[in-house]
Amino acid sequence: MKRLMAASACAVMLLAGASTGVASAAQPTPSPASNTAVVCDKSRTTVLDGIKPFTEELDRAGVAATQGDLAGADRLVRQSGTVLMQVAEKLRKDAEPAQSAELRKALEDVAKELETLGTGLTGVGSLQNFNTKRLEVLANRVAEICQK
């Protein structure tokens, strides 16, 4: 089950890195006519709030797997995927009022990738294929937009 713990740790680090990209959006300098700062701040909060339950579920899955409860670990990994899908849904709602079409699209892209990652978490074995490289790229794009 070392593989599960390594995959969980990797997933947490990468999502935290992605959220840091979104988190850096808290200090944007948008034009006065834009609501970019508000949308960026809201999306940052959504991602940061979503990471905690995601990592908690993966931690619990690791404990269950270490204790030999593979069925429980599978269930908890699936639950962590559900958390990512919930974050994706919230990000889509955060993006709706964005006056910047570029920001709205970037947030929707992040949401789509979170949803893809979430649906891919079907059990312990799926952690081997959990790849957040695209999420990192998309989150960095949001950060760039929010820093303008």
Q: Which residue has the tokens 């790849």?
A: 131
Give the ranges where 26-100 is alpha helix by DSSP (H): 36-66, 70-95
Q: What is the pTM of this model?
A: 0.81
Task: Give the separation between CA 32 and CA 21, rounded to whole angstroms.
Answer: 23
CA distance 57 to 21: 23
Q: What is the pLDDT of residue 148?
A: 76
Residue 23 has a pLDDT of 46
Q: Is the pLDDT of residue 92 over 60?
A: yes
Q: What pLDDT is stored for residue 121 in this prediction?
A: 97
- Percentage of the chain beyond pLDDT 90 is 76
pLDDT confidence bin for 99, thresholds 50/70/90: very high
Sort 33 into a burial class: Cβ within 10 Å, 0-12 / 13-18 / 19+: exposed
Give 123-134 pLDDT, tens digit per residue. Answer: 999 999 999 999
pLDDT at 9 over 70: no
Confidence of residue 44 (pLDDT cuts 50, 70, 90): very high
Q: What is the mean pLDDT of the chain?
A: 85
Specify the amino acid at residue 36.
T
pLDDT greater than 90 at residue 20: no
Residue ranges making up the domain that contains 92: 2-147
The total number of structural domains in the chain stands at: 1
On whether the CB atoms of residues 112 and 87 are closer than 8 A, the answer is no
